[in-house]
Amino acid sequence: MIADLSILNIISFLLIFFIGLPHGSFDGAVASLVGFSNRIQFLQFIIFYLLLFFLVILSWFYFPIITLTIFIIMTISHFGLCDWTNYKINKYKYSVSFTYGMTIIFGIIFFNEDQSFIIFEYLTNDNIYFFQKYFLIPYFLTVVSILYFIYLSFFEKKLRKGIIEILLLLLIFYLFEPLLSFAIYFCFFHTYKHLKHLIKNIYLNLTNKKFVIYSTLIFTVISWVGGLGIVYYLVQNLSLYESILKVIFIGLAALTLPHMLLVDILYRSRFK
């Protein structure tokens, strides 16, 4: 319903769509960094990327609740690994990644549970409130992971600033609606950290800077035009709010799988 499109929701959508989503447009440059350097290899990368993208879309269409669950798990892993990498330490990888990933996803849900489940219902076209009572488990694990993170900070000074960051994120999640909370983290924490690490390695290791610029611009424009086109198609049968939700989050899920395989496996194995 149009009423669902509050000013804050509109701001959230614009942030995610025009700042958050395009950060994956650097995946062409990442592909070149990890070895897809000539035209044939790069074409193979594009084909593989698109196949995974459409596989997730189909999976969401036929198995929405399972795919949503997998997407949440992937997001926890991807966000957590990005935040761990930002510390530039070789230890505590899994505990730090788990803490950040769980804090972001389940912190948002905990402080905005009813609104979050309304979004989940939109995304799955199903009544998923049966699972709500089981969310006490991830909430508990999140609290335990934060306490363990604080414990680790006594032995690793670099983690001490993370306590302030985690508390700041929790305050943001408490103050704002789930969409804006997600948008703030995704655009101003995750995207910033990801691009800071990536641009440095692009500058040091890629000589063809024009390719980086052109490929990123092309992928960005394609994501914007494609997203707006799908919103226009969906709005013929759904509310504008639901249409945008589906494009943002199902689109994110479809991009997250190939993006994760590229960034978290191939890229991070070469560039710590």
Total number of domains in the chain: 1
Residue 203, pLDDT > 90, answer no
CA distances to 39, 59, 77, 127 from 72, rounded to whole Å, are 34, 14, 9, 18
Give the Cβ contact number of residue 218 at 10 Å: 12
What is the per-residue pLDDT for 35?
A: 85
Nearest of 107, 108, 134 to residue 119 by alpha carbon: 108
Residue 251 burial (10 A CB sphere; 0-12, 13-18, 19+): buried
What is the per-residue pLDDT for 62?
A: 92
Residue 272, pLDDT > 70, answer no
Give 188 or 206, the one with higher predicted confidence.
188
Residue 198 banded pLDDT, cuts 50, 70, 90: confident
pLDDT in tens, 103-148: 999 999 999 999 999 999 989 987 788 899 999 999 999 999 999 9
**Rounded mean pLDDT, 221-243:** 89
What is the per-residue pLDDT for 137?
A: 97
What is the per-residue pLDDT for 126?
A: 79
What is the per-residue pLDDT for 2?
A: 44
Residue 4, pLDDT > 70, answer no
> pLDDT averaged over the chain?
90
Give 210 or 155, the one with higher predicted confidence.
155
Give 19 or 109, the one with higher predicted confidence.
109
pTM higher than 0.75 for the full model?
A: yes
| Domain assignment of residue 47, given as a range | 2-270
The SS3 call for residue 1 is coil
What is the per-residue pLDDT for 1?
A: 43
Token output for 233:
């198609």
pLDDT in tens, 56-113: 999 999 999 999 999 999 999 999 999 999 998 989 999 999 999 999 999 999 999 9
Residue 22, pLDDT > 80, answer no
Could you tell me what percent of the chain has a pLDDT over 90? 58
**Rounded mean pLDDT, 5-27:** 84
Specify whether the CB–CB gap between 175 and 139 falls below 8 A. no
What is the per-residue pLDDT for 215?
A: 87
Residue 3, pLDDT > 60, answer no
